[in-house]
Amino acid sequence: MGNIGWAQLLIVLVIVLLLFGTKKLRSLGGDLGSAVKGFKKAVSDKDADFEDDSAKNTEEKIESKEQNVQQQNEAEKQHQKTE
């Protein structure tokens, strides 16, 4: 149960063709293709935005750590001068 053979699939396709006709199926296929294309574009744009945000956050973290290191070095120099 659950296995669909090529004969059953062919019968279903013939019935669908008879019900809807070739013009309706052609337009339906074109609409479906456009929808899939739009969905893929939206997903890839969202991924690109996420990667850009991730790169910006990483750069900000690196800059923040560099500033902390510089402040620590300056504090150590000041401490050494007072000793």
Whether 28 and 20 have beta carbons less than 8 Å apart is answered as: yes
pLDDT at 82 over 80: no
Copy the structure tokens of residue 36. 């899939």
What pLDDT does 34 receive?
Answer: 92
Half-sphere exposure of 65 (CA within 13 A, CB side): 6
50-69 mean pLDDT:
75
The one-letter amino acid at 5: G
- Would the pTM count as exceeding 0.75? no
Give the contacts of 17 (CB within 8 A, at least 6 positions apart).
25
